[in-house]
């Protein structure tokens, strides 16, 4: 399996290898036929200068890939220009040959909230749903997972991952520009699944959780981060039109409500390990983001509410097991 998975690898996927191979080939063909964003990002990626980082540090809040001395001085400005053209950079940050990519999200804040609560990833097969530029996948690397598969349907973010992988070349990381529902049935395959910032975008969250549960083997776990609303009861907010200017937010449950969803879809030992309001210390606009950010989504007169009048974003992290 080449192309989007970049190198041949035995994923122990006898039961769905052919289906996954077909999906990868299908996505490769789709990309080749696309224009606009995909064409622009492909051209951009092909223009990246060659460079070999002497060292890579995944254990930093800002992932460091090489240093300024690893890059030919004549390539510095072209690389900076190409990286800026790949915006918006949502998840990070990264330092690439001394160039600081100041992403919209300080994703290390979220990673630091959960990293000491999850099972060790050494030797595990991991799925990262909505992997974006691959920040969390790269943070997993020092733990030596057997493999990490990211799925990222947004082409711009997928290409950001490819840009970084050009220089990182992590052998056990792979990414497909696909949606969760396009994947073949990875029945009882993954040890750990990360689903972070995704569930509230799903029209059928119960079906999503059921699919995830089926993909995790016994004694495996789900790490789920999502929007919640305050309340002691088991209920859900369903925004009328938009939430924080997003059209694709469908259901925001209470902690008890989400715990019920997890229980009904077969998960056990459900625990909420963190509840944090989203602040501008974690999500904000930078020169690497050419779109609106958190401050634009909140009521300027009352930042405890969104511009639509709903409660401002609060996110919770859950960990749940498969028996």
Give residue-wise pLDDT tens across range 226-258.
999 999 999 999 999 999 999 999 999 999 999
Give the tens place of pLDDT for each residue, 274-287: 999 999 999 999 99
Q: How many CB atoms lie within 10 A of CB 211?
A: 17
**Per-residue pLDDT tens digits for 29-68:** 888 777 788 889 999 999 999 999 999 999 999 999 999 9
Banded pLDDT at 14 (limits 50, 70, 90):
low
Asked if residue 209 lies in contact with residue 262, where contact means CB atoms within 8 angstroms, the answer is: yes
Across the chain, the runs of DSSP E, i.e. the strands, are 56-57, 63-65, 91-92, 94-96, 99-101, 105-106, 125-129, 147-151, 173-176, 190-196, 216-228, 236-237, 252-253, 268-277, 298-299, 302-306, 314-321
DSSP reduced 3-state for 277 = strand
Topology of domain 13-321, per CATH? Rossmann fold (3.40.50)
State yes or no: pLDDT of 12 exceeds 70: no
């Amino acid at each position: 399996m080449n192309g989007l998975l970049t190198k041949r690898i035995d994923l122990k996927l006898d039961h769905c290898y052919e289906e996954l191979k077909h999906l990868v080939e299908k996505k490769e063909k789709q990309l080749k036929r696309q224009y606009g964003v995909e064409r622009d990002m492909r051209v951009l990626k092909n223009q990246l200068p060659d460079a070999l980082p002497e060292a890579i540090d995944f254990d930093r809040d800002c992932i460091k890939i090489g240093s300024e001395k690893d890059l030919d001085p004549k390539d510095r400005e072209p690389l900076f220009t190409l990286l800026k053209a790949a915006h918006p950079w949502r998840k990070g940050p990264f330092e690439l040959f001394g160039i600081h990519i100041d992403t919209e999200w300080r994703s290390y804040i979220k990673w630091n909230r959960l990293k000491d609560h999850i099972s060790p990833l050494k030797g595990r097969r991991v799925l990262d749903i909505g992997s974006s530029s691959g920040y969390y996948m790269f943070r997993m690397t020092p733990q030596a997972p057997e493999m990490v598969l990211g799925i990222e349907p947004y082409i711009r973010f997928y290409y950001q991952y490819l840009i970084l992988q050009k220089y990182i070349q992590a052998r056990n990381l792979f990414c497909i520009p696909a949606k969760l529902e396009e994947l073949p049935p990875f029945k009882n395959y993954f040890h750990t699944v990360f689903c972070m910032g995704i569930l509230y975008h799903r029209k059928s969250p119960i079906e999503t959780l059921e699919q995830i549960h089926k993909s995790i083997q016994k004694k495996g776990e789900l790490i789920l981060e999502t929007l919640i609303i305050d309340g002691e009861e088991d209920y859900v907010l369903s925004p009328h039109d938009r939430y924080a200017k997003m059209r694709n937010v469908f259901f925001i449950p209470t902690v008890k409500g989400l715990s019920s969803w997890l229980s009904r879809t077969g998960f056990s030992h459900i625990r909420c390990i963190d509840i944090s309001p989203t602040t501008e210390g974690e999500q904000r606009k930078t020169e690497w983001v050419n779109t609106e950010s958190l401050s634009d989504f909140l009521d300027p007169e009352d930042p405890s509410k969104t511009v639509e009048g709903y409660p401002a974003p609060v996110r919770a992290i859950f960990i749940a097991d498969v028996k």
